[in-house]
Amino acid sequence: MQQQTTTINKFCSTGMKSIELSGQEIEDIKYELTIYGKMECMTNAPFKLNISGQLIREAQSTSKSSPETICNHITTKLAKETLDQIQM
């Protein structure tokens, strides 16, 4: 089984976009099985960026501290764990 993770950043439509991409990949016979999901990353963004009290658009973030980077690491870990469970 091969594994691929994709991070989608479409704000409120991330969940719908992940469903659309999963369905499209199955229709294209690229995969027999896809697992999709949505993870909300913005609730604590001002705190992750260490900018409490500032507007998000005024913040300067680094790739180490951005919410998308944090979520991508979590998503990749969860995808690997799920794939391991399926293969058992």
For the stretch 25-62, pLDDT in tens is: 888 887 777 777 766 665 555 545 455 555 444 444 44
- Find the DSSP H helices in 1-88: 14-27, 45-48, 67-87
Burial of 41 (0-12, 13-18, 19+ CB in 10 A): buried
Residue 2 belongs to a domain: no
Residue 3 belongs to a domain: no
Residue 58 belongs to a domain: yes
Residue among 79, 60, 77, 62 at smallest CA distance from 22: 79
* Residue 32 belongs to domain spanning: 11-87
Confidence (pTM): 0.40
Residue 82 belongs to a domain: yes
Residue 6 belongs to a domain: no
pLDDT for 34 equals: 78
Residue 43 belongs to a domain: yes
The residue with greater pLDDT, 84 or 57, is 84
**How many Å apart are CA 88 and CA 5, to the nearest integer?**
20
pLDDT for 31 equals: 77
pLDDT for 24 equals: 85
The count of structural domains within the chain is 1
Residue 81 belongs to a domain: yes
Q: Residue 51: how many CA atoms within 13 Å on its side-chain side?
A: 16
